[in-house]
Amino acid sequence: MNDEDKTLNTNDDEEIKEEIDLDLIEDGDLTEEQMNEIALQAKHEARIQKEKTVPPKRVPKWFIWLISIMLVLSTVAGLFQVFSIPAIDFLLTSAKLSQDEEIMVYKESVVVVVTENGKGTGFSISDDGVIITNYHVIEDNQSIYVVYPEDGRYEATILESYEDIDLVVLKVEGENLPSLKLRPDATIKKDDPITFIGNPLSFKGIVNEGMILAPLKLKDWKHEVMMIQAPVYRGNSGSPVLDEDGEVIGVVFATLNHDEFGKVGLFIPIDLYFERVD
């Protein structure tokens, strides 16, 4: 018998078996084993039919909203880890101060100083591109650029360097650039209000205010610096400190945890710059 014959005979046997089973069901003459087999087969077919007719369960909308809220809260928590509540407050203060027309003009002269290692703040003191910033902002960097808010990006070179007072003078090739006025022989008194503009954290052109606290003599520094009660953050290095007339009286360069005043900002009096250039 060939393979084809075997196949045909097998099919015939199955058909006969189905006919016998049907006859047995009609006659009610079933063994217990046959009844169990039929019951299992019926359950199996019923389950298949149910799976075909019952639609797949949909994810409840409330569950989707819950996941979304959790993601938002997670993002907000991450932001609070980066920016403290006081840091958020200084953004609100800056937005308010920046509405002043004079402040808007001052901001045009405050630049972002960009190097291979990061960024800081500087400010223009002449219309042909002379800029003051901290020495530590550009230290050990070969490439230096400055970015004006309205006048764009310029490559800068070092004109003068005063490492002992953490100041450096940069020069860019430009004309009719905005600039701030320096105040020689500035009188600085306790509780005097000040304004400063810089690029703290990941922001640019942030304006804030504070007040003079007291002079401070730092270790390894020949000259005194000034302490201010103000929200100074990383990136504020090189920010101009302005008096009530909008003239520069100092340059922000650091923060310090003081025994009496707590966390304070430090600035270099602009008089120290004049002593070097005279």
- Written as one string, the DSSP assignment of the chain is --HHHHHHHHHHHHHHHHHHHHHHHHHT---HHHHHHHHHHHHHHHHHHHHHHSPPPPPPHHHHHHHHHHHHHHHHHHHHHHS-HHHHHHHHHHHHHTTSHHHHHHHTTEEEEEETTEEEEEEE-STT-EEEE-HHHHTT-S-EEEEETTTEEEE-EEEEEEGGGTEEEEE---SS-----B-TT----TT-EEEEEE--TT-SSEEEEEEEEEEEE-TT-SSEEEEEES---TT-TTPEEE-TTS-EEEEEEEEEEETTTEEEEEEEEHHHHHHHH-
Q: What's the pLDDT tens digit per position in 3-36?
A: 444 333 434 444 333 443 444 344 445 555 666 6
Per-residue pLDDT tens over the stretch 31-67:
556 666 666 676 666 676 666 655 555 666 766 777 7
Whether 103-171 shares its CATH topology with 193-277 is answered yes
Q: Which residues are catalytic?
A: 136, 166, 237
Give the pLDDT mean for 65-93: 64
**103-171 carries CATH number 2.40.10.10:** yes
Does the domain at 193-277 match CATH 2.40.10.10? Answer given as yes
Contacts of 180 (CB under 8 A, 6+ apart): 106, 109, 110, 123, 124, 125, 240, 242, 246, 247, 248
What is the pTM assigned to this prediction? 0.69
Cβ atoms of 215 and 190 closer than 8 Å: no
Choose between 197 and 71: higher pLDDT. Answer: 197
Residue from 121, 112, 165, 168 nearest 140 by CA: 168
**Segment among 36-40, 119-123, 247-251 with least mean pLDDT:** 36-40
pLDDT at 167 over 50: yes
Per-domain residue ranges of the chain: 103-171, 193-277
